[in-house]
């Protein structure tokens, strides 16, 4: 399958769909408080709304983050595909039942020769797109508030918070996170992105976004 010049194999499309669905379930349970009571609460109150909310916020945030890596990698002539990590997706659901969540749905793997700058830009693409998504969710929150739609306001609030968190967290300069690659390329770019993202994330949390 090809979309706007990007090619997706059947396996990649399957992995994207499975990761999106698993994250939707995991985050629905997590935001309901986790554990057996959360599952009973979701089932008792209707499973569609909480899962849909998670698919449109956490699910979109995670998967668009990964697709941004793919788009930029392909732009630099790489062969790039997303691969879901089934073990980590299972862990995401199990951890949500325990009242916390650890979500690493998979990664975009690419091959080809790259400069340090190109590596850095590919890594930066994911967090940058999350900041852009956060900006798009803000007017959704405002519109929901104005219209008195609790569900729409919650989509905007949670989408904003989750995407800011993803941007800041993935820019931490440790292990396999994007921040380590960006820092290795340019300390100025790293600081110029990470510090504002962290400040915005903390500010959104203190203002109560996402809850």
* Contact between residue 191 and residue 171 where contact means Cβ atoms under 8 Å apart: no
Quick check: is 66 catalytic?
Answer: yes
Phi, then psi, of 143 in degrees rounded to 5: -65, -45
108: three-class secondary structure by DSSP: strand
Q: How many CB atoms lie within 10 A of CB 12?
A: 18
d(CA 136, CA 2): 26
d(CA 169, CA 192): 15
d(CA 154, CA 145): 9
Residue 171, both tokens: 């820019």
**Catalytic choice (12, 40, 66, 118):** 66
Residue ranges in the chain assigned as alpha helix (H):
10-31, 35-45, 48-54, 60-75, 86-97, 116-147, 150-170, 178-185, 187-206
Q: How many CB atoms lie within 10 A of CB 189?
A: 15
Q: How far is CA 23 from the centre of its chain?
A: 10
Active-site positions read 66
């Amino acid at each position: 399958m090809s979309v706007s010049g990007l090619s997706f194999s059947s396996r990649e499309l399957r992995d994207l769909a499975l990761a999106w669905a698993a994250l939707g379930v995991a985050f629905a349970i997590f935001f309901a408080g986790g554990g057996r009571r959360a599952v009973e609460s979701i089932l008792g109150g209707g499973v569609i709304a909480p899962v849909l909310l998670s698919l449109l916020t956490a699910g979109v945030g995670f998967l668009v983050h990964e697709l941004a890596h793919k788009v930029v990698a392909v732009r630099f002539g790489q062969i790039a595909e997303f691969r879901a990590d089934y073990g980590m997706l299972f862990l995401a659901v199990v951890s949500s039942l325990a009242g916390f969540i650890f979500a690493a749905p998979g990664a975009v793997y690419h091959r080809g020769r790259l400069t340090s700058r190109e590596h850095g830009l590919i890594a930066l693409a994911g967090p940058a797109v999350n900041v852009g998504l956060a900006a798009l969710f803000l007017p959704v929150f405002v519109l929901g508030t104005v219209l008195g739609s609790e569900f729409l306001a919650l989509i905007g609030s949670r989408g904003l918070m989750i995407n800011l968190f993803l941007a800041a967290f993935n820019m931490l300069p440790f292990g396999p996170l994007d921040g380590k690659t960006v820092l290795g390329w340019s300390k100025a770019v790293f600081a110029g992105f990470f510090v504002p993202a962290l400040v915005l994330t903390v500010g959104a949390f203190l203002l109560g976004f996402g809850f």
